[in-house]
Amino acid sequence: MPTDPEARLREALTSLNQTEAPGHLRAALLAQGGGRRPRRLGPLPALVSGLATLLVVGGTLYLVSAATHPQRLHRAPRPAASTPVNGTTGRCHSAQLRLSAAGSNGGGGNVVQNYWLRNAGTVPCTLYGYPGARLLAADGAPMPTTVVRGPNPIMPRQAPATVTLRPGQSAQFVLGFSQISPTGTTSCPIASRLELTPPNAYHPLSVAARIQACQGRLFVGPVTTAPTAPAPPGAPAGVTRCRSAQLRLSAAGSNGGGGNVVLYYRLRNAATTACTLYGYPGARLLAADGAPLPTTVVRGPNPIMPRQAPATVTLRPGQSAQFELGFSQLSPSGTTSCPIASRLELTPPNAYHPLRIAARIQACQGRLFVSPVAPG
C-alpha cells in the first residue's frame, strides 16, 4: 500500500474513477501547505466544475473536483506529544517513568501492594487516573487478569486527581488482591512478574513480583502523590518511622484463661539510628507450608485485652517496643476444633514489608485482637 499521502490519494481516486460517479474525479492543488503560508484561493466556481468534495489523507486536506489535478490544500502541523500546550504540563509518557515496588501489607487473605512511578525525565509531566495491569508467568507469558478500578472490598475509596511530577518526583498507587478463592482454597496460580501501563500511556512497564491473585482479579487504585511520611505525634525532630528492614521480631511470652490466650511480642531496633513506631501492627495467620489462613484483625477495644491508646514509641538502637495479640480458642458453638496456625506474619505499624515468626495459634474464626505498640 502506498505510504506517500498523495500517492494514496491517487489510488483512492482511481477507485472512484471506476464507479458510476459523473466524470473522472481528480484533485486540484489550490494552496501549498507545509511551512509556507497558503496562498489565497480564487472563487470556487472559476476553479472547480462538476462534482467536488474534500478528502483528508494523512493529516492533509485535499479538494477533489471533476476537472483538475490532485493537489494539496493544507497540512496541519502535528504538535509534539510532550510539548506543553498554553503553558500547561504535558502528560507523563512511559519512557520517562521508572516503576518500582514500595512494600505491601495484608490480612484476612487479602494483600495490598504499593508501587511508585518516578519521573526520570528532565521536564515535569502529569499523571491522572488508573494504571493498567497484567499478570505474567515466570517465562513472561500473560496470565488471565481482570482489573477492577474504583470502589472495591479491599482498599479504601480514592478519587482520581491530577499529579504533577517534577524531575525526580514520584507518584504512587496501590494494587490489591485476594489469595483465597471463592471455595476457600489457597491453591491459586502465582504470577512472577507484573506488567503495568501508566495512566493515559501506551507502553507497559514491568517489575518482578509474587502475586497469588485468585481468579486473576486485581483491584487498582488511582495514582496519587507519593507522600513524605510526617513524623507521628510526639516524635523527636529528625527521627523517622521505623521500617521493617531495621526491626527484629521476637516472642515474649503468653498468658491465658477461660479459653482466651494473649501472646506478647517485641520489635527491636537493630539499626544504628533511632526511629519511631506509632499505632497497630498488621497480622496474618499462616499454615505450616506458608499458605495464608483466613484472618480477621480487630484493633481497638476488645473483650480479651485492656484498652490501650496509641502513643509514639521512640526506639534508639537496641531498644524494643512491645505489643499484644489475643485470640479465643473456643468457637461460637463451644468446641475447640479450630484450625491451628504454625506461623504468624506481622507487619510493623506504618510499614509495608511483613516479618514472620514461628507460632502455634488456634484462633477460632481466625479472629485476632491486636494492641498498639508500647514501650518495652
CATH 2.60.40 is the classification of domain 244-375: yes
Given a contact cutoff of 8 angstroms between Cβ atoms, the answer to whether 319 and 269 are in contact is: yes
3-state secondary structure of 23: coil
- Confidence at residue 2, expressed as pLDDT on a 0 to 100 scale: 53
Whether this model's pTM surpasses 0.75: no
Give the span between the Cα atoms of 238 and 130, in whole angstroms: 34
- pLDDT band at residue 354, thresholds of 50, 70 and 90? confident
355-361 and 282-286 strand pairing: unpaired
What is the percentage of the chain residues whose pLDDT exceeds 90?
Answer: 27
- Confidence at residue 227, expressed as pLDDT on a 0 to 100 scale: 57
- C-alpha 96: how far from chain center: 17
Spans of all domains in the chain: 5-75, 94-225, 244-375
Cell 501547505 sits on residue:
33
- pLDDT band at residue 43, thresholds of 50, 70 and 90? very low
Which of 5-9, 27-31, 81-85, 361-365 shows the lowest per-residue confidence on average (mean pLDDT)? 27-31
- Confidence at residue 266, expressed as pLDDT on a 0 to 100 scale: 95
Please, what is the average pLDDT of the chain? 76
- Domains 94-225 and 244-375 in one fold: yes
Over its C-alpha atoms, the chain yields an Rg (Å, rounded) of: 32
Going from the C-alpha of 16 to that of each of 27, 51, 66, 112, 311, the distances in angstroms are: 12, 12, 11, 59, 81
- pLDDT band at residue 68, thresholds of 50, 70 and 90? very low
Residue 200 has pLDDT above 80, yes or no: yes
pLDDT tens for residues 146-173?
Answer: 999 888 877 777 889 999 999 888 888 8
- Confidence at residue 264, expressed as pLDDT on a 0 to 100 scale: 93
Between 360 and 185, the higher pLDDT residue: 360
- Confidence at residue 313, expressed as pLDDT on a 0 to 100 scale: 92
CATH topology of domain 94-225: Immunoglobulin-like (2.60.40)
- pLDDT band at residue 8, thresholds of 50, 70 and 90? low
- pLDDT band at residue 236, thresholds of 50, 70 and 90? low
Give the span between the Cα atoms of 355 and 79, in whole angstroms: 51
Going by C-alpha positions, the residue among 352, 353, 354, 296 that lies closest to residue 325 is 296
Cβ neighbours of residue 35 under 8 Å, at least 6 residues apart? Answer: none
